[in-house]
Structure 1
Amino acid sequence: MKTILNLVWLVFGGFWLALGYFFAGVLCCILIVTIPWGIASFRIAGYALWPFGRTVVEKPGGSGLASTLGNVIWLLVAGIWIAIGHLTSAFFMAITIIGIPLAIANVKMIPISLMPLGKEIVPTSAPFVPTYH
Structure 2
Amino acid sequence: MKLLGNIIWLLFGGIFIFLEYLVGGFLLCLTIIGIPFGIQAFKLAFVALWPFGTRVENTDSSAGCLSIIMNVIWLLCGGIWIALTHLLFGIIFAITIIGIPFAGQHIKLAGLALSPFGKEIH
TM-score when normalising by structure 1: 0.85
Aligned to 1:98: 98
Q: Counterpart in 1 of 2:87?
A: 87
Gaps in structure 1 of 5+ consecutive residues: 123-133
- Contact 1:62–1:118 under 8 Å retained in 2: no
1:82 alignment partner AA:
I
CA deviation after TM superposition for structure 1 residue 91, in Å: 2.1
3-state secondary structure, aligned to 1:109: helix
Q: Match of 1:61?
A: 61
Residue 61 of structure 1, CA deviation: 3.0
Cα distance in structure 2, aligned partners of 1:10 and 1:105? 12
> Secondary structure, in 3 states, of the residue corresponding to 1:30?
coil
After TM superposition, the structure 1 stretch with the greater mean CA deviation from structure 2, 47-56 or 9-18, is 9-18
Higher share in helix? 2
Give 1:66 deviation, angstroms. Answer: 1.4
State the shift of 1:44 in Å: 1.2
CA contact (8 A) 1:67 1:117 kept: yes
With normalisation by structure 2, the TM-score equals 0.92
Whole-Å Cα distance in 2 between the matches of residues 109 and 7 of structure 1?
17
How many pairs were matched up? 122
- Residue identity in the other structure for 2:90: A
Aligned partner of 2:38 in structure 1 is: 38
